[in-house]
C-alpha cells in the first residue's frame, strides 16, 4: 500500500545530493566529467530506497524514469547536433571569420553591452537560446577572449542576451509552455512579461556598460593583432562564410524544427569547409593525394570527434579546438543521471511533498510569487530540467492563484522569470551543463555574471511585494461596472 513520505524522508535524497555535490566541488577540478553524475545516481538510489519504503513498486519507478528520460530526449539530440555544428563551423572558418571581422567592428568598451544586444536579437529571431549560444555565442566568446575580457564575464553577457530571447520570443518552447500551464494565451503572456523583463534587461545593460568602461584594455592591441594574424595564417577568411549562419537563421525563422535545422547547418558547414579550407581538410585528414577521401574523413571527424587546429598563437589554438558529438557525451550522461533522480523522486511524490508547505504558508501576493519562484528554482535543481520546473509548479499553483483572484498571466510570467531564467545557473541542469560545455566555461564561473538571469526572478518578487502591475479578476469586474455607469 502506497504511503505518503514525511517531510524529512522527502528531503533526505536532496540533502544527500547536496552533501555529495559539496564534496565533489572540494575534491574534483572538473565535477561534470563523472563526479556529479555518480552523485546523482547515488542520490537516485537513496530516493529509490525511500520510495520502496513508501510502497512504490520498482516497475512504477522504472516507468517514471523512462518517461523522465524521454522528456529530455529532444534536448539530448539537440545537444549532440550542437557538438557537430560547432565542429564543422569551426573547421569551415565560419566562427574564425566572425571573430576576425568582429574584432575590428566592436568597440572594446562597448563589447559586453554589444554581446548582450546581439545575443538578444538572434535569440528573439530564432526562439532558441541553445542555438544562439552555440553559434554567435561561441564567436562572441572568442572576440571577448581576444580583447582581454575574462571568459566568465563574456559568457555571462552572452547567456543574459540569449535567455532574454528564449523568454520573450513567440518561437520559444518555454514561452509557449508557461502560458499553457498557467491557462492564458501566448501574446498576453509576452506582453505582461515586459513589465518585469524590461527593467531587468535595462539593469543588465547598465551593469555591463559599467564593467566595460572600467575594464583595463591596455594589453588588448597586441593580443588582437596576434589573434588576427593567427586566424589569417590558418584559414581562408571570406565574407562568403557568413552565408552559413544566414541560412541557419533563415530556416529557423521559417519555423523549421530545431533538429533538422541544426543538422542541415552542420552539413552546410562541412560543405563550406570542403570549398574554402582545403589546407584544413588536408591537415585534419593527413591525406594530400585524394581530396574526396580527405574531405569525407575531415567532415566526419569534425562532426563526431576532436579537432585541434594548431595556429601561431597558443591562445587561438585553444580557442579553435572542438570535440564534436563526442565532447557532449559527458553532458548527455549528466542529463540521463539527473532524469533518473528526478523520475524516482516524482514517482514517490517526494517533490510535491516538499513543496506543499510552501503553498500553505503563502498568504500575500508577494509571498505567493516568492514561493512560486522558490519552487521553480527547487525543481530546476532537483529534476535538472527547465520544462519540469515550469510544468509542475504551473500545475501546482494555478488553482491557488485563481482562488486568490490573481490572473493566470501573473503565474505564467513568474514561471518564466524563475523557471526559464535560473535553469542555466545550475551546473547539473540540462541548460547549465549544456551551455558550460558549449562555451567551455564552468557554470559556477559564469553564473555570477549572468545578471539578467539573476535579476529576473528578483524583479518578479519585487513587483509582487510592491503590488506593481499585478492583474486581478476583480479589476475586470470594476472596469465592467464603470463602463455600465
Is residue 119 within 8 A of residue 157, CB to CB? The reply is yes
Q: What is the mean pLDDT of residues 290-306?
A: 93
**What is the Cβ-side half-sphere exposure of residue 253, based on CA atoms within 13 angstroms?**
11
Per-range mean pLDDT, top range of 301-310, 357-366, 476-485: 301-310
Render pLDDT for 79-96 as a digit per residue (tens, 0 to 9): 788 788 888 988 998 888
Q: Which of 175-179, 394-398, 474-478 has the lowest mean pLDDT?
A: 474-478
Between 416 and 261, residue with greater pLDDT: 416
Rounded to a whole number, what is the distance in angstroms from the first to the last CA of the chain? 60
Q: Is the pLDDT of residue 480 over 60?
A: no
Report field, pTM of the whole predicted structure over 0.85: no
Is residue 272 within 8 A of residue 241, CB to CB? The reply is yes
For residue 478, what pLDDT is reported? Answer: 52
For residue 223, what pLDDT is reported? Answer: 61
Q: Is the pLDDT of residue 457 over 80?
A: yes
Q: CA 380 to CA 339: how far, in whole Å? A: 11
Q: Is the pLDDT of residue 355 over 70?
A: yes
**Of 10, 94, 75, 37, residue with least CA distance to 424:** 75
For residue 1, what pLDDT is reported? Answer: 58
For residue 96, what pLDDT is reported? Answer: 85
Surface-to-core class of residue 387, CB atoms within 10 Å of its CB (0-12 exposed, 13-18 middle, 19+ buried): buried
For residue 335, what pLDDT is reported? Answer: 74
For residue 44, what pLDDT is reported? Answer: 92
Ordered alpha helix ranges (H), 320-418:
329-347, 350-360, 365-383, 386-403, 408-415
Q: What is the mean pLDDT of residues 50-76?
A: 88
Give the SS3 label for residue 42.
helix
For residue 220, what pLDDT is reported? Answer: 55
For residue 241, what pLDDT is reported? Answer: 92
**Of 96, 83, 94, 86, residue with least CA distance to 246:** 94
Render pLDDT for 129-143 as a digit per residue (tens, 0 to 9): 887 888 788 888 988
**Of 425, 424, 421, residue with least CA distance to 453:** 421
Amino acid at each position: 500500500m502506497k504511503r505518503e513520505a514525511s517531510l524529512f524522508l522527502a528531503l533526505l535524497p536532496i540533502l544527500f545530493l547536496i552533501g555529495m555535490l559539496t564534496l565533489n566541488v572540494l575534491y574534483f577540478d572538473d565535477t561534470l566529467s563523472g563526479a556529479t553524475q555518480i552523485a546523482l545516481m547515488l542520490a537516485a538510489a537513496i530516493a529509490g530506497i525511500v520510495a520502496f519504503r513508501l510502497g512504490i513498486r520498482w516497475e512504477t519507478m522504472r516507468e517514471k524514469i523512462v518517461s523522465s528520460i524521454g522528456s529530455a530526449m529532444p534536448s539530448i539530440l539537440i545537444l549532440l547536433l550542437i557538438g557537430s555544428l560547432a565542429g564543422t563551423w569551426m573547421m569551415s572558418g565560419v566562427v574564425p571569420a566572425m571573430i576576425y571581422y568582429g574584432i575590428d567592428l566592436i568597440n572594446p568598451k562597448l563589447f559586453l553591452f554589444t554581446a548582450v544586444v546581439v545575443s538578444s536579437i538572434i535569440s528573439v529571431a530564432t526562439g532558441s537560446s541553445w542555438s544562439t549560444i552555440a553559434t554567435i555565442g561561441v564567436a562572441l566568446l572568442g572576440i571577448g577572449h581576444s580583447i582581454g575580457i575574462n571568459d566568465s564575464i563574456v559568457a555571462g553577457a552572452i547567456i543574459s542576451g540569449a535567455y532574454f530571447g528564449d523568454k520573450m520570443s513567440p518561437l520559444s518552447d518555454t514561452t509557449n509552455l508557461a502560458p499553457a500551464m498557467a491557462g492564458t494565451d501566448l501574446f498576453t503572456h509576452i506582453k505582461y512579461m515586459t513589465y518585469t523583463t524590461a527593467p531587468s534587461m535595462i539593469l543588465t545593460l547598465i551593469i555591463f556598460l559599467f564593467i566595460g568602461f572600467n575594464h583595463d584594455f591596455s594589453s588588448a592591441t597586441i593580443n588582437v593583432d596576434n589573434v588576427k594574424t593567427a586566424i589569417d595564417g590558418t584559414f581562408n577568411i571570406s565574407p562568403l562564410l557568413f552565408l552559413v549562419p544566414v541560412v541557419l537563421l533563415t530556416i529557423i525563422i521559417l519555423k523549421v524544427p530545431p533538429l533538422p535545422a541544426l543538422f542541415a547547418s552542420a552539413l552546410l558547414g562541412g560543405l563550406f569547409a570542403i570549398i574554402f579550407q582545403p589546407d584544413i581538410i588536408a591537415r585534419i585528414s593527413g591525406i594530400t593525394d585524394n581530396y574526396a577521401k580527405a574531405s569525407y574523413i575531415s567532415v566526419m571527424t569534425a562532426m563526431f570527434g576532436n579537432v585541434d587546429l594548431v595556429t601561431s598563437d597558443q591562445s587561438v589554438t585553444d580557442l579553435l579546438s572542438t570535440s564534436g558529438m563526442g565532447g557532449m557525451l559527458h553532458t548527455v550522461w549528466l542529463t540521463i543521471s539527473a532524469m533518473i533522480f528526478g523520475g524516482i523522486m516524482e514517482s514517490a511524490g517526494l517533490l510535491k511533498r516538499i513543496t506543499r508547505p510552501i503553498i500553505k504558508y503563502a498568504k500575500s501576493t508577494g509571498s505567493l510569487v516568492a514561493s512560486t519562484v522558490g519552487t521553480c528554482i527547487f525543481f530546476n535543481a532537483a529534476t535538472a530540467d527547465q520544462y519540469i520546473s515550469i510544468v509542475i509548479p504551473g500545475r501546482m499553483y494555478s488553482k491557488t492563484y485563481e482562488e486568490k483572484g490573481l490572473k493566470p498571466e501573473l503565474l505564467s510570467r513568474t514561471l518564466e522569470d524563475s523557471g526559464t531564467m535560473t535553469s542555466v545557473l545550475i551546473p547539473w541542469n540540462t541548460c547549465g551543463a549544456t551551455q558550460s560545455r558549449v562555451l567551455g566555461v564552468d557554470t559556477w564561473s559564469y553564473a555570477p555574471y549572468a545578471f539578467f538571469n539573476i535579476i529576473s526572478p528578483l524583479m518578479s518578487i519585487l513587483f509582487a511585494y510592491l503590488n506593481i502591475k499585478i492583474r486581478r479578476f476583480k479589476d475586470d469586474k470594476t472596469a465592467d461596472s464603470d463602463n455600465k455607469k
